[in-house]
Amino acid sequence: MALEARLTVLGVTGMPEVVRGDSIADLVLDRAELVEGDVLVVTQKVVSKAEGRVVAFDPGDPDAKRRIAESEAVRVLRRRGELVVTETRHGFVCASSGVDLSNVAEGRAVLLPVDPDRSSRRIRDRIRARAGVRVGVVVSDTFGRAWRRGLTDVAIGCAGVAAVVDLRGTRDALGRELSVTEVCVVDEIAGAAELVMGKASGIPAAVVRGVDPALLRDSSVRDEVVRPYGEDLFR
């Protein structure tokens, strides 16, 4: 049969509640054997908790989330009812600056990591040091998008795996230059991982095994994925 196993997505089960100071790399390695070339995807939620990016607010204040979101934003792009779409300091465009009140104690809000690419590099380096394997790391979050309903998981940080693959100059099967030239593989990896993590399953990490080795290189979401304000046609 012409059906080749190419990619496997494995959920890391049995992760504990993550608290400030935890090493995500160690929590994963205590539970899962990673192999050279794996890409580990970790949700923003646990990375932020490990980094202490949690703030308290008055749960009786209906405006608390909006105010925290605006304090994390460089621009408020749209408001509609309770929805506020902002541009964060990282350059991400998302609802409420990524501030999240689910899976955290009452009266606590989880903010995005200060530098999710750096968070990714730290996890990758610790895995290399402890387990001796070179892996890619992606920190993922769940964002809405323009024009399409429903949210998907995308990469907010990465290390050791290409964020965007530039195919300029590549030719198609008929020898013509490809019209699609830049593919954001790191968002596709984050989305694939979401399919095994779900939202209520308590699986905050997944391993994507079998990624094309050509994609395993240094990279960052900030440099390759974030579209600067002036370059964007829809802001």
Q: How many residues interact with a copy of itself (rule CB under 8 A)?
A: 83
Residues 18-47 that bind a copy of itself (CB under 8 A): 31-33
Residue with the two structure tokens 């995308």: 154
Q: Residue 129 or 180: which CB sits closer to a copy of itself? A: 180
Rounded to a whole number of angstroms, the minimum distance from the CB of residue 171 to a copy of itself is 7
Closest CA relative to residue 206, chosen from 29, 9, 8? 9
Rounded to a whole number of angstroms, the minimum distance from the CB of residue 208 to a copy of itself is 8
> Please, what's the b/e burial string for 98-110 (b: 16 or more CB within 10 A of its CB; e: otherwise)?
bbbbeeeeeeebb
Alpha-carbon span 133 to 153, nearest angstrom? 26
Among 185, 216, 219, 220, binds a copy of itself (CB under 8 A): 185
Rounded to a whole number of angstroms, the minimum distance from the CB of residue 223 to a copy of itself is 10
DSSP category for residue 139 = E
Among 46, 137, 192, 216, binds a copy of itself (CB under 8 A): 192
Q: For strand 136-143 and strand 54-56, is the pairing parallel, antiparallel, or unpaired? A: unpaired
Q: List, in sequence order, every residue forming a beta bridge with 161; answer none if it has no partner.
A: none
Residues 89-148 that bind a copy of itself (CB under 8 A): 92-93, 100-106, 142, 145-148
Among 55, 76, 131, 183, binds a copy of itself (CB under 8 A): 183
Residues 62-81 that bind a copy of itself (CB under 8 A): 78, 80
Signed CA dihedral, 152, 205, 207, 116: sign only: positive
Instruction: Please report whether residue 168 would count as binding a copy of itself according to CB under 8 A.
Output: no
3-class secondary structure, 187: helix
Rounded to a whole number of angstroms, the minimum distance from the CB of residue 27 to a copy of itself is 11
Alpha-carbon span 67 to 78, nearest angstrom? 14
Using the rule CB under 8 A, give the single segment among 48-56, 111-119, 124-132, 164-172 that binds a copy of itself.
Answer: 164-172
Determine the residue type at 137: V
